[in-house]
Structure 1
Amino acid sequence: MSKKVIIVGGHGNVSLRLTRLLTPKHTVKSVIRTQDYEDEIRNLSAEPVLLSLEDSPVSDFTAAFEGQDVVYFSAGAGGKGGEERTKRVDYEGAVKVFDAIEGVQGPKPRLILVSAIDVRDPANIPAHYNEEDIASSRRVRTAIAAYMHWKYEADKNLVKRDKFKWTILRPGGLSNEPGTGKAAVGRTHITRQISRDDVAKALELLLDREDAAGLAIDIVGGDTPLEEALDAAIKKGETDFLG
């Protein structure tokens, strides 16, 4: 069934891939912060919406979300602008989107949010991590400490909300290699990268998975067909956000 979808952070690498997957069957709007991207979005058969996570008020996002079935949040500062901008986009921008969904009158759209694997309380090391996972986690947390912190604060905020349905997808390190159509999904080891193509495909599959509401789902490169792996994780019903 065709759905009305809006993607926040529409010009990101994963978002553009997701747009290509969605537009043949669904009506897609793409939130971008500059007119420079409008033609590229239209060429993908999506409708550009000019809004800024940093500067536009919550009310403008609420208006954009009215009548939509699903909101994808796949935005981020991308390490540009230091910790201050990372906080404004990855945390405050995300919370702005959460608040805007809550402000929608009538049926509220579902939210599918792209976070990152290993987003957690640094003191709470997951029981399934091995020594390689722990070493990888330490390296990442040293290299992009602000990003991991503010993603964690955003996810903590989201998991407490119950006025709309949400799902969090938590990919591992991203690559631009062609997608394999395979993955490891759920509480898995965190050292393998995953193609942006495969992350976009997982996001497309989540569009029809209302039964994934309330779950945070880890995904890295693996050997199981993507749809099968995602289905098994959703049916298991075990969130990968451990607080």
Structure 2
Amino acid sequence: MRVVIAGGHGKIALLLAEQLTERGDTAVALIRNPDHADEVRAAGAEPVQVDLEAVTADELAKDLTGADAVVFAAGAGPNSGAERKRTVDRDAALLVADAAARAGVRRYLQVSSMGAANPPSEAEDDSVWGAYLRAKGEAEQGVRDRDDLDVTILRPGVLTDGPATGRVRLAEEPVGHEEVTRADVAATLIALLEAPATVGRTLELINGTEPLGTAVDDLGGATGPSVHGDDGLPAS
């Protein structure tokens, strides 16, 4: 499986590249800064330099052609202002979706955020955090109902840097704004890629007690032993 990751130098993206590579898949990382290429290669991904705030959908489609799936894991980062929340967290997500459709890549996973379902209006909250939630919500809305993509949206809880546990709570209903490791988010993205029953669904994710494979199967997506080991982690 060839997977293109937008925001390829992010923490989740690097872990996703590592896990895909361990499975024998091919990861392609879209990065803005060429200085990040070596770190991306070390994670097992093929770096492709592209500025998602400057490229056109037609130009980007060339980098996506031949992929089996696209994962949007880009973000403006914690030190950015409200404008970049709009240009990266919203506009870049919509751009990548357009490019995927033009490249004929139907499977599209979007990493979003809890709170995106009901973001505050600008009048209620004009902070950068409010702008971030509005950008994520508008990005979700922009890709959710497309009929030229098979979309799954994942909203992780509070992100931590611990090792993968293989144990999660994954559901369409609210699961509580609790912690989840970035490694478990990456593993969940891989599981969702091979779970057709999750197409068209928006899912929330935190660490829990259920093995990841079982949690995905409970959504109607039989994942099989090629995706998960006995401990719920991706099989290597």
TM-score strictly above 0.5: yes
Counterpart of 2:55, as a letter, is: S
In structure 2, distance between residues paired with 1:112 and 1:120: 17
TM-superposed deviation, 1:167 = 0.8
User: Is 1:13 the counterpart of 2:15 in the alignment?
Assistant: no
Moved over 2 A (4+): 140-143
Percentage of identical aligned residues: 34
Structure 1 residues 184 and 31, CA gap change in structure 2 (3 angstroms): same
In structure 2, distance between residues paired with 1:116 and 1:122: 10
In structure 1, distance between residues paired with 2:206 and 2:115: 11
Which residue of 199, 206, 211 corresponds with 1:225? Answer: 211
Equivalent residue number for residue 74 of structure 1: 73
Which residue of 191, 201, 211 corresponds with 2:197? Answer: 211
Equivalent residue number for residue 239 of structure 1: none
TM-superposed deviation, 1:67 = 0.9
Which residue of 109, 115, 119 corresponds with 1:118? Answer: 115
Equivalent residue number for residue 90 of structure 2: 91
In structure 2, distance between residues paired with 1:21 and 1:141: 38
User: Is 1:174 the counterpart of 2:174 in the alignment?
Assistant: no
Preserved CA contact (<8 Å) 1:30 1:46: yes
Counterpart of 2:5, as a letter, is: I
TM-superposed deviation, 1:99 = 1.2
Equivalent residue number for residue 229 of structure 2: none
In structure 1, distance between residues paired with 2:128 and 2:206: 20
TM-superposed deviation, 1:234 = 4.1
> 1:16-27, aligned counterparts within 5 Å?
16-24=14-22, 25-27=24-26
> 1:158-173, aligned counterparts within 5 Å?
158-173=143-158
Q: Secondary structure at the match of 1:219?
A: strand
Structure 1 residues 84 and 111, CA gap change in structure 2 (3 angstroms): same
Specify every segment of 5 or more residues in structure 1 that has no aligned partner in the other structure, as ranges. 124-139, 236-243
Over residues 164-211 of structure 1, what are the superposed CA-to-partner deviations in whole Å (9 max), with x where a residue is unaligned?
211111111111122221111112432311111111110111221122
Counterpart of 1:119, as a letter, is: A
Equivalent residue number for residue 183 of structure 1: 168
In structure 1, distance between residues paired with 2:69 and 2:189: 11
Structure 1 residues 234 and 215, CA gap change in structure 2 (3 angstroms): farther
In structure 1, distance between residues paired with 2:151 and 2:77: 23
In structure 2, distance between residues paired with 1:142 and 1:38: 33
Q: Secondary structure at the match of 1:23?
A: helix
Equivalent residue number for residue 232 of structure 2: none
TM-superposed deviation, 1:232 = 0.9
In structure 1, distance between residues paired with 2:174 and 2:137: 19
Specify every segment of 5 or more residues in structure 2 that has no aligned partner in the other structure, as ranges. 222-236
Equivalent residue number for residue 238 of structure 1: none
TM-superposed deviation, 1:109 = 3.4
Over residues 4-56 of structure 1, what are the superposed CA-to-partner deviations in whole Å (9 max), with x where a residue is unaligned?
11111010000100100001311111100011011111222321000011112
Equivalent residue number for residue 230 of structure 2: none
In structure 2, distance between residues paired with 1:14 and 1:45: 14
In structure 1, distance between residues paired with 2:178 and 2:44: 33
TM, length-normalised to structure 1: 0.83
In structure 2, distance between residues paired with 1:122 and 1:81: 19
Preserved CA contact (<8 Å) 1:141 1:148: no
In structure 1, distance between residues paired with 2:177 and 2:54: 36
TM-superposed deviation, 1:145 = 0.9
Give the root-mean-square deviation of aligned CA atoms.
1.9
Preserved CA contact (<8 Å) 1:116 1:170: yes
